[in-house]
């Protein structure tokens, strides 16, 4: 299987996209693209979520709903040089526990998606699962997916979007801006693949309804455009036009499990070598199976011939 079994307390169990015939057609699924801005990098060292956004979408790129809010982390907000969120911005924002009902509704029946989903997983597991968010939800990392399918110099969300689609995403380092960019990247990935992409991994599950206690407090602007998302914005709208990508696809897709972490030149070459080995082994097994089948057919024919001669 192409997904990893994780501890039951963790929020996400990782799935993958493949051009093989395994799994379900990825275009038929719904996805909840999630992004968080945080006060630091490591929740086990006290870092907390200070903003979260979810874009719920179909595999064809139709956006069904967007949700975003600042989050009161109950700690001093650091990292302003990256996300631009100050202590005063989160005053009156909901706490993580108050968002469990809203997130459960957005995640229900969908595959969770993030660009470096391991990062979001750590914070969902650290803050939201203890507050009641179900654990073990199906997940898909677009960073691992791109590394396994497409050869690029850099795989960050912004650089990959520019290299493949030709534009830099807007609203970088805002939760909604990055979630929108990741949703666009996923839709274009499914649209441009040289062959049908299929999802393999844990199945989406319908989650029980949980009363929502949240009063969202979005930041004042995303990508320079003022937009307050309310229930009135819950409607189906398409992502931007699905742009054609350059022909940078690997002929042999890499194992996503080898595409995590740093993924420098050495890690890439190991993944490529592994893909070649697996291809050669499958081809050798196919040749051996064909030879065995031919020999078995010849033996059967000889047996039948001897039986006919004996009569």
Are 78 and 189 contained in the same domain? yes
**Residue 223 backbone class (left: φ over 0; alpha: ψ -120 to 50; beta: rest):** left
pLDDT at 45: 93
pLDDT at 131: 93
Q: Look at residue 6 and tell me if it is in a domain.
A: no
Are 216 and 273 contained in the same domain? no
Closest by CA position to 82, among listed 44, 143, 36: 36
Q: Look at residue 297 and tell me if it is in a domain.
A: yes
Q: Look at residue 193 and tell me if it is in a domain.
A: yes
Domain-terminating residue out of 259, 276, 293:
259
pLDDT at 6: 39
Are 248 and 185 contained in the same domain? yes
Are 124 and 188 contained in the same domain? yes
Are 248 and 298 contained in the same domain? no
Q: What is the CATH number of the domain that holds 104?
A: 3.30.420.10
DSSP collapsed to 3 states, 111-136: EEEECCHHHHHHHHHHHHCCCCCCCC
The most confident of 133-147, 212-226, 233-247, by mean pLDDT: 133-147
Are 139 and 288 contained in the same domain? no
| Residue 310 pLDDT exceeds 80 | no
Name which of 37-41, 169-173, 231-235 the model is least confident about. Answer: 231-235
Burial of residue 205 (number of CB atoms within 10 Å: 0-12, 13-18, 19+):
middle
| Residue 193 pLDDT exceeds 80 | yes
Q: Look at residue 188 and tell me if it is in a domain.
A: yes
Are 156 and 248 contained in the same domain? yes
**The length of the chain, given as a count of residues:** 311
Cα-based distances in Å from 155 to 30, 56, 278, 305: 24, 23, 25, 63
Are 198 and 277 contained in the same domain? no
pLDDT at 21: 85
pLDDT at 299: 64
238 beta partners: 62
CA–CA dist 85, 137 (Å, integer): 29
Mean pLDDT, the chain, whole residue set = 86
Domain around 30: 12-259
Question: What would the mean pLDDT of 194-214 be, rounded to a whole number?
Answer: 91
201 CB-near residues (< 8 Å, 6+ apart): 1, 2, 3, 13, 14, 15, 16, 23, 111, 138, 139, 140
Closest by CA position to 89, among listed 185, 204, 174, 193: 174
| Residue 8 pLDDT exceeds 50 | no
Q: Look at residue 69 and tell me if it is in a domain.
A: yes
Q: Look at residue 59 and tell me if it is in a domain.
A: yes
CA angle 265, 199, 30 (to 5 degrees): 120
Are 83 and 144 contained in the same domain? yes
Domain-terminating residue out of 232, 259, 286:
259
Are 183 and 291 contained in the same domain? no
Work out how many domains the chain is built from and give that number: 2
Are 166 and 297 contained in the same domain? no
Are 299 and 234 contained in the same domain? no
Contact indicator for 165, 188 with CB cutoff of 8 Å:
yes
Contact indicator for 59, 29 with CB cutoff of 8 Å:
yes
What would the pLDDT profile of 165-176 be if each residue is shown by its tens digit?
Answer: 998 988 888 999
Question: What would the mean pLDDT of 1-15 be, rounded to a whole number?
Answer: 63
pLDDT at 303: 66
67 beta partners: 54
What would the pLDDT profile of 148-165 be if each residue is shown by its tens digit?
Answer: 999 999 999 999 999 999
**What is the distance, to the nearest Å, from the Cα of residue 158 to the centroid of all Cα atoms in its chain?**
16
Q: Look at residue 268 and tell me if it is in a domain.
A: yes
Q: Look at residue 25 and tell me if it is in a domain.
A: yes
Task: Give residue 281's pLDDT band: very low, low, confident or very high (50, 70, 90).
Answer: confident
């Amino acid at each position: 299987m192409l997904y990893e079994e994780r501890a039951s307390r963790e929020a996400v169990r990782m799935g993958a996209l493949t051009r093989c015939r395994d799994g379900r057609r990825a275009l038929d699924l719904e996805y909840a693209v999630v992004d968080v801005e945080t006060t630091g990098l490591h929740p086990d060292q006290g870092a907390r979520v200070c903003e979260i956004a979810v874009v719920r979408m179909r595999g064809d790129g139709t956006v069904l709903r967007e949700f975003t809010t600042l989050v009161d982390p109950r700690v001093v907000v650091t990292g302003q040089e990256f996300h631009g969120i100050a202590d005063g911005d989160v005053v009156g924002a909901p706490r993580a526990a108050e968002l469990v009902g809203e997130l459960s509704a957005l995640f229900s029946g969908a595959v969770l998606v993030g660009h470096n989903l391991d990062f979001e997983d750590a914070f969902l597991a650290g803050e939201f699962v203890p507050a009641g968010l179900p654990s073990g939800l199906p997940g898909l990392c677009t960073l691992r997916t791109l590394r396994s399918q497409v050869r690029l110099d850099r795989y960050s969300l912004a650089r990959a979007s520019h290299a493949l689609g030709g534009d830099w995403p807007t609203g970088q380092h805002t939760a909604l801006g990055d979630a929108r960019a990741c949703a666009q990247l996923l839709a274009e990935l499914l649209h441009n693949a040289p062959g049908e992409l299929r999802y393999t991994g844990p199945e989406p599950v319908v989650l029980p309804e949980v009363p929502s206690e949240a009063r969202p407090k979005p930041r004042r602007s995303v990508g320079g455009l003022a937009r307050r998302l309310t229930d009135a914005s819950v409607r189906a709208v398409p992502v931007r036009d699905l742009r054609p990508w350059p022909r940078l696809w690997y002929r042999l897709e890499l194992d996503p499990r080898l595409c995590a972490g740093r993924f420098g030149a050495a890690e890439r070459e190991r993944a490529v070598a592994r893909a070649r080995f697996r291809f050669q082994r499958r081809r050798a097994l196919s040749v051996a199976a064909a030879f065995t089948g031919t020999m078995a057919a010849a033996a059967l024919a000889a047996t039948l011939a001897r039986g006919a001669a004996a009569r």
